[in-house]
Amino acid sequence: MALRTLASLGSLAGKRVIVRADLNVPLRDGVITDDGRVRATLPTLNALIDQGARLIVASHLGRPYGAPDPKYSLEPVAQRLSELLGKPVAFARDTVGVSAHEAVASLQDGDVTVIENLRFNPGETSKDEGERRAFAQQLAELGDALVSDGFGVVHRKQASVYDLAELLPSAAGLLIETEVDVLDRLTENPERPYAVVLGGSKVSDKLGVIAHLLPRVDTILVGGGMMFTFLAAEGYPVGASLLEKDQIETVKGYIATAKERGVTLIFPVDAVVASSFSADADHVVAAADALEDTPYGSSGLGLDIGPETAKIFADAIRGSKTVFWNGPMGVFEMPAFASGTKTVAQALTEVDGLSVVGGGDSAAAVRQLGFSDDRFGHISTGGGASLEFLEGKKLPGLEVLGWSL
Ligand code: ADP
Ligand code: MG
Query: Is position 353 annotated as part of the catalytic site?
Result: no
Nearest to 219 by CA among 195, 249, 186: 195
Cα separation, 271 vs 301, whole angstroms = 9
Task: Strands of 131-236 (E only): list them.
Answer: 145-148, 170-172, 194-198, 219-222
pLDDT number for residue 206: 83
Ligand 1 atom at minimal distance to the Cα of residue 331 = 16
Compute the average pLDDT of residues 148-170.
Answer: 97
Q: Are 38 and 74 in contact (CB under 8 A)?
A: no
Cα separation, 107 vs 100, whole angstroms = 11
Q: What would the pLDDT profile of 376-395 be if each residue is shown by its tens digit?
A: 999 998 888 998 998 889 99
Q: Are strands 54-58 and 16-20 parallel, antiparallel or unpaired?
A: parallel
327 Cα to the center of ligand 1, angstroms? 6
pLDDT number for residue 275: 98
Ligand 1 atom at minimal distance to the Cα of residue 362 = 3
Cα separation, 113 vs 107, whole angstroms = 8
pLDDT above 90: percentage of residues in the chain? 87
pLDDT number for residue 79: 97
Kindly write down the DSSP assignment for every residue of 94-122, as one continuous string. Answer: SSSSHHHHHHHHTPPTT-EEE---GGGSG
CB-count exposure of residue 20 (10 Å: 0-12, 13-18, 19+):
buried
Q: What would the pLDDT profile of 78-108 be if each residue is shown by its tens digit?
A: 999 999 999 999 999 999 999 999 999 999 9
Kindly write down the DSSP assignment for every residue of 270-318, as one continuous string. Answer: EEEEESSSSTT--EEEEEGGGTT-STTGGG-EEEEE-HHHHHHHHHHHH
What DSSP element (H or E) covers 35?
none
Whether 279 has a pLDDT exceeding 90, the answer reads yes
In our burial notation (b when 16+ CB lie closer than 10 A, e otherwise), range 276-312 reads eeeeebebeebebeebbebebeeebbbbbbbeebbeb
Whether 39 has a pLDDT exceeding 80, the answer reads yes
Q: Point out the ligand nearest to the CA of residue 381.
A: 1
Q: What is the mean pLDDT of the chain?
A: 95
Q: Are 92 and 103 in contact (CB under 8 A)?
A: yes
CB of 202 closer than 6 A to ligand 1?
Answer: yes
pLDDT number for residue 162: 98
283 Cα to the center of ligand 1, angstroms? 18
pLDDT number for residue 291: 98
What DSSP element (H or E) covers 58?
strand 54-58
374's CB contacts (< 8 A; 6+ apart) are none
Q: What would the pLDDT profile of 289-307 be if each residue is shown by its tens digit?
A: 999 999 999 999 999 999 9
pLDDT number for residue 382: 84
Output the CA angle 65-381-223, nearest 5 degrees.
95
CB of 326 closer than 6 A to ligand 1?
Answer: yes
CB of 242 closer than 6 A to ligand 1?
Answer: yes
Q: Are 324 and 197 in contact (CB under 8 A)?
A: yes
Compute the average pLDDT of residues 231-255.
Answer: 95
